Amino acid sequence: MVSFAIKMTRRHKLSVFKVNKTIEEINDKIKRGEAVVVNAEEMIDIVRKEGAIEAAKKVDVVTTGTFGTMCSSGALLNFGHTAPKIKAAKVWLNDVEAYGSLAAVDLYIGASAVKKGDPLNAVHPGRFEYGGGHVIEDLIAKKPVKLSAEGYGTDCYPAKRIEMEIFIDDLKEATLLNPRNAYQNYSVATNSTDKTIYTYMGVLKPGFANATYSSAGQLSPLLNDPFYLTTGIGTRIFLGGGVGYVIWHGTQHNPNEERNERGVPKTGAGALAVVGDMKQMSPDFIKGASILGYGVSLSVGVGIPIPVLNEEIAFFTSVSDEEINAYIFDYGHDYPLKIDNNYGLTNYKELKSGFITINGKKVPTAPLSSYSGAVKIAETLKQWILDRKFFLTKPSALLPQSKDYEPLKYLKKYEKNL
């Protein structure tokens, strides 16, 4: 906290930037209905045409979005006390096991939990028809969900077994609490073996016959804030159709992954832990996912506004698909064995074109993350801001930072081109 405060003051005093705006100033403009808000796709052309400095003067907020399956998601629910009371040690929602050992009637249901009696991969590839992700979607869609719980009985909580129907609106609390979402970037998956494999990266055909990728690329939140300069703890975001917050760095957040000449990491790198009120959310942006042969997950829509405080942030938010690289990994052999090997570097322009080259061979690609969903999210967030319903926040603390960052280092490299 202290070091953050010092850093901010020093940055301001030194004023290494030509444009210096504050979050307060931007929020005032939003209040007055004067803020200029564009999505991260629109920002590319603005910076290319007018340069980072002019773009920073002109644009106040860049909105981003991503909509894909994000494991490490779950819901924290409080179902209220029953009569007689129970200290629910074991809990199931629509026969999907949740974690109950929090208190009496608090529970946490993980997106990847599968329904009791699911054949799993007994007949490979398993279908994984229903699980935690679907329970979360059903709750948000305001469908009834069957809750069963078992307790061992205490003097204050005598009930040993309950079964009831719950609706989201009757719950005291329904909070989406996702330990790792919005991965900054992701791997491209392919399969070197002679068998079709069924992975969380989709179906990968033998002999490098296809490749899949999972990122919104130029629209993705942390690819537009590659050094986590404005996205930090406390940042207000779009989450699943409602308002949420960044609460911590995501599990496995690694700011020191290899970066390209624009400072954009070439693989996973950063991630966010996020939280939001499920009662505000919509099944349009939160969907249970059954992944053939792999399991259950949750597709989550996340959108993050980036305040354009200076020309460097304008530069970072102007990143385009061809400037975002991703390594190609073999999910048939290397990945499951944790062998550090890759099949080259591609970029999102190539990936989105439908073909990449692996070992000199043209390989068809397919996305797993919905780009049209990402656009819809960035546009919704833009509209919220223009409607003066959504204001920007200054992080109360920064996420773990990258050693590679120095103010203006990457913009200076590009200045001639801008």
Partner 1 sequence: MISKKVVLRFPEEIAGKPLVSDICKKFDLTFNIMRANIFPRKEGILTLEISGEKASFTSGIQYLKDNGVSINFVEESINRDENKCYHCGFCVAVCPTEALTIINRKTMKVDLFKDRCIACGYCVRVCPAKAMSLPEEF
Binding status of residue 127 toward partner 1 by CB under 8 A? yes
How near is the Cβ of 379 to partner 1 at its closest, in Å?
A: 12
Task: Rank residues 218 and 393 by Cβ distance to partner 1 and give the closer one.
Answer: 218
DSSP class of residue 227? Answer: T
**Which of 185, 297, 317, 346 contacts partner 1 by CB under 8 A?**
297
Closest by CA to 315, choosing from 43, 63, 21, 60, is 43
In whole angstroms, what is the distance from residue 43 CA to residue 183 CA?
A: 21
User: Under a CB-based contact definition with an 8 Å cutoff, are residues 363 and 357 in contact?
Assistant: yes
Binding status of residue 43 toward partner 1 by CB under 8 A? no
Task: Rank residues 292 and 408 by Cβ distance to partner 1 and give the closer one.
Answer: 292
State the binding string over 49-78 for partner 1 (x if CB under 8 A, else -).
Answer: ------------------xxx---------
Q: State the maximum Cα–Cα separation within the chain, in Å, rounded to a whole number.
A: 75
Q: At residue 138, what are phi and psi to the nearest 5 degrees?
A: -60, -40
Contacts of 6 (CB under 8 A, 6+ apart): none
In whole angstroms, what is the distance from residue 218 CA to residue 213 CA?
A: 14
Tokens standing for residue 30: 């939003």
How near is the Cβ of 113 to partner 1 at its closest, in Å?
A: 16
Taking the CB of residue 116, how many other CB atoms lie within 10 A of it?
12
How near is the Cβ of 329 to partner 1 at its closest, in Å?
A: 16
Task: Rank residues 23 and 292 by Cβ distance to partner 1 and give the closer one.
Answer: 292
Task: Rank residues 193 and 401 by Cβ distance to partner 1 and give the closer one.
Answer: 193
Site for partner 1 in 187-246 (CB under 8 A): 202-204, 210, 212
Cα first-last separation, the chain = 35
DSSP track, 130-198: -BHHHHHHHHHTT--EEEEEE----SS--B-EEEEEE-GGGSSEEEEEEEEES-SS--EEE--SSS-EE
How near is the Cβ of 104 to partner 1 at its closest, in Å?
A: 35
Taking the CB of residue 308, how many other CB atoms lie within 10 A of it?
28
How near is the Cβ of 352 to partner 1 at its closest, in Å?
A: 6
Binding status of residue 373 toward partner 1 by CB under 8 A? yes
In whole angstroms, what is the distance from residue 297 CA to residue 70 CA?
A: 7
Task: Rank residues 84 and 354 by Cβ distance to partner 1 and give the closer one.
Answer: 354
**Which of 363, 367, 392, 399 contacts partner 1 by CB under 8 A?**
367
**Which of 37, 289, 324, 385 contacts partner 1 by CB under 8 A?**
289
CA 47 distance to own-chain centroid: 25
The amino acid at 385:
I
The catalytic residue among 1, 2, 122, 156 is 156
Beta-carbon-side half-sphere exposure of residue 165 (alpha carbons within 13 Å): 5
User: Under a CB-based contact definition with an 8 Å cutoff, are residues 257 and 216 in contact?
Assistant: no
Helix boundaries (H) for 207-325:
221-224, 311-317
Applying CB under 8 A, the span of 55-63, 244-252, 292-300, 338-346 interacting with partner 1 comes to 292-300
Q: Indicate if 71 belongs to the active site.
A: no
How near is the Cβ of 121 to partner 1 at its closest, in Å?
A: 14
Task: Rank residues 73 and 370 by Cβ distance to partner 1 and give the closer one.
Answer: 370
How near is the Cβ of 159 to partner 1 at its closest, in Å?
A: 36
**Which of 102, 177, 243, 366 contacts partner 1 by CB under 8 A?**
366
Count of residues in contact with partner 1, rule CB under 8 A = 31
Which residues contribute to the site for partner 1 (CB under 8 A)? 67-69, 125, 127, 202-204, 210, 212, 284, 287-292, 297, 299, 352-354, 366-373, 375
Active site residues: 156
